[in-house]
Structure 1
Amino acid sequence: MYKFPEGFFWGAATSGVQSEGSKNQVNKSIWNYWFEKEPKRFSGEIGPDVVCDTYNKFKEDVALMKEINFNSFRTSIQWARLIKDFETGEVCEDAVRFYNEYIDELLKNGVEPIINLYHFDMPSELQEKFGGFESKKVVNLFVLFAQKAFELFGDRVKYWTTFNEPIVPVEGGYLYDFHYPNKKDPKLATQVAYNIILAHAKTVNLYKNMKISGEIGVILNLTPSYSRSNSEEDLKAAYMADLFFNRSFLDPMLKGEFPKDLCEILKEHNLTPETTKEELKEIEKAKVDFLGVNYYVPRRVKAKEKKDEKFNNPEYYFDYYINPDGRFNPYRDNNEIYPVALYDIAKNVQENYGNIPWYLAEIGIAMDLNSEGDVKEDGLIDDTFRTDLMKEHFIQLHRAIEEGSNCFGVHQWTFIDCWSWLNSFKRRYGFYRLDLETGKRIKKKHGVWFAQLAKDNGFEK
């Protein structure tokens, strides 16, 4: 039996923009805006209005959480839904009602809410008018939004996070063109990254100054970088990938400082963002109480075979490669399955970041409708492929905890199959299937297994 620490969090994660829909939303997010402009870029031309409709069905859904023994759940408050007037911070009363009722329903059913403030959902007005996080004005508007959320819900929400995967809007929006505003501009990318870190720091410091009874953290997608070989060139490639994709946010958000090597690289390429001494002090003093970690796949890199003429993105310093001995998920673009990476992440946090309390904020095994198949005679969908792989990952997590890693919970992605950015519903992750035509929630076998796991606070191999 693999037993986990007493009081361990078991649950799932989603976001407001991926689950709520847009009904009665006073402002648009960039996702609504972008879908209206370019619907063909979205799988099946399905936009963010086709969701599981948490806005109307949250009571039904919380009952389903209870059915599979959740004791915690993470979602986000949509900036575009809560704030009516971005400049003054005036709130939308319907949004306040909705979030109050949602939070109260979770608590009434013994489900601890972890509330995230930003999950890729910049209000389109702020993106179009000011450039989103390209602008320090928007940094301050974000802090105002956070303040309103703390004032309204901080008496009941005891766990807050500022950003989910803050590097993704930088990568997707300013380096690789898979998020709006679809700019490929490394200079803007570094400014946006810095401004997000500044927004995070200001929000953390605000929360501490408000003396609210609770904790605040951040959720980072940590992807270990593994070198092709132990050659000096390959090891340097892995170091650089880790520097750009992990330490660029880990170090300032957990240690209050930017990696010196990264600063020198940005200076070399004339990519240094605009900063002030006051801002750097704000970042230095912002201390999070806990870390959320999202993990899905490893990163495999090797030395660069052909040097680029100029820096366009971090791949200036390395090439990707496919592990010839790896296992791959046939249902998600043949992404590598590597549970040991979860152990490596836990040890990195333990050994290099003060063994800060952390939880696995997202982990998921993607399948598609065909691979999950139809509902069986027992009324369930057979996704034992997902359960078998999840066990392997949890064994590695358990090993790290046994060795002293300060992990306090697991949230799987996701509770009900949700809309997922450009992929829409191409991939499924939920404990419950969402029938797009009827909105019906259909339980999967993995949900039955998870219910027993949460009840026992452990599992047998």
Structure 2
Amino acid sequence: MNKQKLNFPEEFWWGSAWSAEQAEGRGETGKAETVWERWYSEQPTRFYNRVSSEITTDHIHRYEDDIQLMKQTGHNSFRVSISWARMFPNGGERAVNPAAIAFYRDLFSKMNQEGIKVFANLYHFDMPAAMQDKGGWESRDVVEAYVHFATTCFDHFGDLVYHWFTSNEPLGPILGSYLEDFHYPNIVDFKRGAQAAFFTVLAHAKIIERFKEKKLSGKIGVILNLSPTFPRSQNPADVKAAEIADLFYTRSFLDPMVKGEFPQKLVDLLRKYEQLPNDYTSEDLACIKENTAQILGLNYYEPRRVKARMSAVNEMGPFLPEWFFENHIMPGRKMNEYRGWEIYEKGIYDLCMDIKNNYGNIEAFISENGMGVANEERFMDEAGQVIDEYRIDFIKDHLAYLWKAIQEGANIKGYHLWTFIDCWSWINAYKNRYGLVSLDLDTQKRTIKKSGEFYKQLSDENGFEYDVDYLV
């Protein structure tokens, strides 16, 4: 055994993240219908146990107490999202909501008073339904409405926010809405998805352009969900399959949002199959080129493992990335059986080194990493505390590889867990729990888990002891 203290850089960001739709609840401030509320009204059976986002963690009524819980669990930073639908309750149009401004200003002010840096994300899957009716991310008008929303947020909260982010996991709504049927409006059409993806990137660039014009303090970037891609073997067919999967799922947003250019191999592939978006201009491409992320959030949960296709593609079916590869189930892999995800701690190191070596070592942080577990009440002690040693081990094992990446020069400034308090998780609702603090859905009672106590000690000591012999 070779235990040693793994110390992290001074002023390292210890915290967590969640989103408005997943935590705030509707409240009384006024709020437009979101795509999630629209979908629930149309298909409530798609949501686990028919639980909607009406109440969630009720943060809008309990934020002052929640800030104290942040302190008690070691937070010096926290990522929120600002609800477009709350800021513009008439559906995303121009009339801003003073009650929403008052809520967010008070929330951010109190966080700052407690020494908790505000990381503000502008979009986390919660499109106002009225904006979706106008075409969502397929529409230039919606892009302009979104830029107006972002600019309004800069004007009202710029003095309170530490870092800004244009979007969380922009790949998610494209996959869910246009390819894989897990986001409203449940379209399966790659070409339309490509248009929506392009305009999402363009919106990112236009917002950064506005941010620079405002000369605000702090930095602005984006939060991307990234998984290192591994081929089944070094057989050329498997290697090619992994390269194509990586283009679709990693480089598609990472390259234009950080480097300002779309990967040429992906462009060539989509052109060959006539899947490029129709609506783009040279001015759009120049804007994307000139306005790139200043900071990068890395959401890491699992690796991506692929192999060459073993069966023919039905070319009469819809065009999909899986035309070029199949997922590979690696024998002996470690699993989070509740979420169906592989646990591969070294992947966080591989991801950070990719950013270091191929993206100018841009300032970055782990913006999400976590472990969802079902039926956590099984692990409650007599006092009602969840004794989640499995989550503590998960955090330690990932942090050890993050520490290794930092030792090797990766420009990583912090680690944010998903999530703070058990929150509503889209169509999975509360099926799996991720929080440092447990939530009783009937009473809204919050109880710090064992992992929350560990996280406070971790933050206070800015590190932890670990057997480095486990690192490979």
TM-score normalised according to structure 2 size: 0.95
**Aligned residues of 2:92 and 2:128 also touching (Cα < 8 A):** no
Find the aligned partners of 1:254 and 1:111 in 2 and give their Cα distance.
Answer: 27
**Aligned residues of 2:221 and 2:293 also touching (Cα < 8 A):** yes
2:70 aligned with 1:65 = yes
2:351 aligned with 1:345 = yes
In structure 1, what is the equivalent of residue 100 of structure 2? 95
Counterparts of residues 184-199 of structure 1 (less than 5 Å)? 184-199=188-203
2:445 corresponds to which of 440, 444, 460: 440
Query: Tell me, which stretches of 5 or more residues in structure 1 are unaligned?
Result: none
Residues 37 and 86 from structure 1, CA distance in 2 versus in 1: closer, same or farther, beyond 3 angstroms? closer
Find the aligned partners of 2:419 and 2:92 in 1 and give their Cα distance.
Answer: 34
Amino acid at match of 2:162: K
2:16 aligned with 1:12 = yes
How far off its partner does 1:89 sit? Answer: 2.3
2:217 aligned with 1:210 = no
Amino acid at match of 1:6: E
Find the aligned partners of 1:91 and 1:16 in 2 and give their Cα distance.
Answer: 17
2:385 aligned with 1:367 = no
Question: What secondary structure is seen at the aligned counterpart in 2 of 1:98?
Answer: helix
CA deviation profile, 1:211-256 (whole Å, cap 9, x unmatched): 1122101000001111110100001111111100000000000000
2:137 corresponds to which of 117, 128, 133: 133
2:373 aligned with 1:356 = no
1:154 corresponds to which of 153, 158, 164: 158
Find the aligned partners of 2:226 and 2:209 in 1 and give their Cα distance.
Answer: 24
**Aligned residues of 1:21 and 1:54 also touching (Cα < 8 A):** yes
Find the aligned partners of 1:314 and 1:212 in 2 and give their Cα distance.
Answer: 39
1:32 corresponds to which of 34, 37, 40: 37
Counterparts of residues 318-397 of structure 1 (less than 5 Å)? 318-333=325-340, 335-370=341-376, 372-377=377-382, 379-397=384-402
Find the aligned partners of 1:4 and 1:374 in 2 and give their Cα distance.
Answer: 30
In structure 1, what is the equivalent of residue 469 of structure 2? none
Find the aligned partners of 1:52 and 1:88 in 2 and give their Cα distance.
Answer: 27
Find the aligned partners of 2:93 and 2:311 in 1 and give their Cα distance.
Answer: 51
**Aligned residues of 1:293 and 1:358 also touching (Cα < 8 A):** yes
Amino acid at match of 1:327: K
CA deviation profile, 1:404-425 (whole Å, cap 9, x unmatched): 0000000000000000001000
Between 389-398 and 115-124, the greater mean CA deviation after superposition:
389-398
Find the aligned partners of 2:424 and 2:320 in 1 and give their Cα distance.
Answer: 28
Find the aligned partners of 2:304 and 2:159 in 1 and give their Cα distance.
Answer: 40
Find the aligned partners of 1:434 and 1:378 in 2 and give their Cα distance.
Answer: 14
How far off its partner does 1:86 sit? Answer: 5.7
**Aligned residues of 1:114 and 1:157 also touching (Cα < 8 A):** yes
Amino acid at match of 2:8: F
Find the aligned partners of 1:173 and 1:330 in 2 and give their Cα distance.
Answer: 26
Find the aligned partners of 2:287 and 2:139 in 1 and give their Cα distance.
Answer: 17
In structure 1, what is the equivalent of residue 204 of structure 2? 200
Find the aligned partners of 2:384 and 2:181 in 1 and give their Cα distance.
Answer: 41
1:280 corresponds to which of 285, 293, 310: 285
Question: What secondary structure is seen at the aligned counterpart in 1 of 2:32?
Answer: coil
**Aligned residues of 2:18 and 2:418 also touching (Cα < 8 A):** yes
RMSD: 1.1
2:309 aligned with 1:301 = no
**Aligned residues of 1:237 and 1:303 also touching (Cα < 8 A):** yes
Residues 88 and 326 from structure 1, CA distance in 2 versus in 1: closer, same or farther, beyond 3 angstroms? closer
How far off its partner does 1:433 sit? Answer: 0.8
Question: What secondary structure is seen at the aligned counterpart in 2 of 1:264?
Answer: helix
Residues 422 and 379 from structure 1, CA distance in 2 versus in 1: closer, same or farther, beyond 3 angstroms? closer
In structure 2, what is the equivalent of residue 219 of structure 1? 223
Find the aligned partners of 2:164 and 2:456 in 1 and give their Cα distance.
Answer: 25
Matched positions, count: 458
Question: What secondary structure is seen at the aligned counterpart in 1 of 2:125?
Answer: coil
Question: What secondary structure is seen at the aligned counterpart in 2 of 1:127?
Answer: helix
Amino acid at match of 1:298: P
Amino acid at match of 2:422: D
Counterparts of residues 248-259 of structure 1 (less than 5 Å)? 248-259=252-263
In structure 2, what is the equivalent of residue 45 of structure 1? 50
How far off its partner does 1:85 sit? Answer: 4.6
2:319 aligned with 1:312 = yes
Amino acid at match of 2:350: D
Amino acid at match of 1:161: F
1:241 corresponds to which of 233, 242, 245: 245
Find the aligned partners of 1:331 and 1:359 in 2 and give their Cα distance.
Answer: 26
Question: What secondary structure is seen at the aligned counterpart in 2 of 1:182?
Answer: coil
Find the aligned partners of 1:247 and 1:194 in 2 and give their Cα distance.
Answer: 13
How far off its partner does 1:156 sit? Answer: 1.4
Amino acid at match of 1:329: N
**Aligned residues of 1:86 and 1:141 also touching (Cα < 8 A):** no
2:274 aligned with 1:267 = no
Residues 87 and 125 from structure 1, CA distance in 2 versus in 1: closer, same or farther, beyond 3 angstroms? closer
How far off its partner does 1:131 sit? Answer: 1.4
In structure 2, what is the equivalent of residue 175 of structure 1? 179
**Aligned residues of 1:363 and 1:412 also touching (Cα < 8 A):** yes
Question: What secondary structure is seen at the aligned counterpart in 1 of 2:373?
Answer: coil
Amino acid at match of 2:119: I
**Aligned residues of 1:50 and 1:419 also touching (Cα < 8 A):** no
Query: Tell me, which stretches of 5 or more residues in structure 2 are unaligned?
Result: 467-472
TM-score normalised according to structure 1 size: 0.98
